[in-house]
Amino acid sequence: MDLTDRQRKILFAALVVLLAAAGVILTIGTGSGKHKSSAQRGEAASPSPSVPSATAPGTTGPPPSGGSYDIYSLLPFTQKDFSAAADVARRFTIAYGTYRYDEQPSAYLGRMQGMVTTDLAAQLQRDSSAPGVLDQRKQDKEVSTSDAHLDSLRDMEKDQFIFLVTGTQHISKGGSSSDTSQQYAVTVTRSGGGWVVYAFQPANVGDK
């Protein structure tokens, strides 16, 4: 039976979780020498009657693997790819929430240069240049700085990730200051040798 795209994504995500769990299990030790020494001292202080020892059942199959397991060797992207894509999602969210009332839209968009697709850059230019938005910011002398952190990975494919990222704006306007936070679904796609933001929306209405 052919699987739908959604079913393939669910199976792929489940595979990653299982592999991660396997990697953790393979790195767990078999016990500490301290516990063993304590047991030996206890036996010397309080000898117990000897009893016939049962023969341990034989084991079959290969011995357990030692050390950690490279999960990325089974995935269609490298750890470097994943880290680079996540960093682009975070830096874009910071740039998106940072602006000043006395700067030109071109300066605002320049901070996102190289991090977005051509289509998204055009959309951001239209949004940031809207007369009502600019006039209100100038009237309030509004200044916003931003920071962001990655929350989770919503979905992934070979050349695309959807990250959930929370951006926090520190806004000063009209003589007062406030903080506001918003979680976004940021879709990052491969472009040449790097990664760019293809789309983003508030997480509650973004890509599912």
pLDDT of residue 172: 97
What tens digit of pLDDT does each residue of 86-101 get?
Answer: 999 999 999 999 999 9
pLDDT of residue 60: 65
User: Residues in the chain with pLDDT < 70?
Assistant: 1-69, 206-208
Residue 71 shares a structural domain with residue 82: no
Domain region containing 9? 1-42+64-75
The predicted model scores a pTM of: 0.68
pLDDT of residue 106: 92
Q: Would you give the end-to-end CA distance of the chain in angstroms?
A: 24
What tens digit of pLDDT does each residue of 99-140 get?
Answer: 999 999 999 999 999 999 999 999 999 999 888 888 999 999
DSSP letters, 133-181, are: HHHHHHHHT-EEEEEEEEEEEEEEETTEEEEEEEEEEEEEETTEEEEEE
- 90, 148 contact by CB (below 8 A): yes
Say how many domains are in the chain.
Answer: 2
Place of tokens 């011995």: 63
The CATH number given to whatever domain includes residue 130 is 3.10.450.230
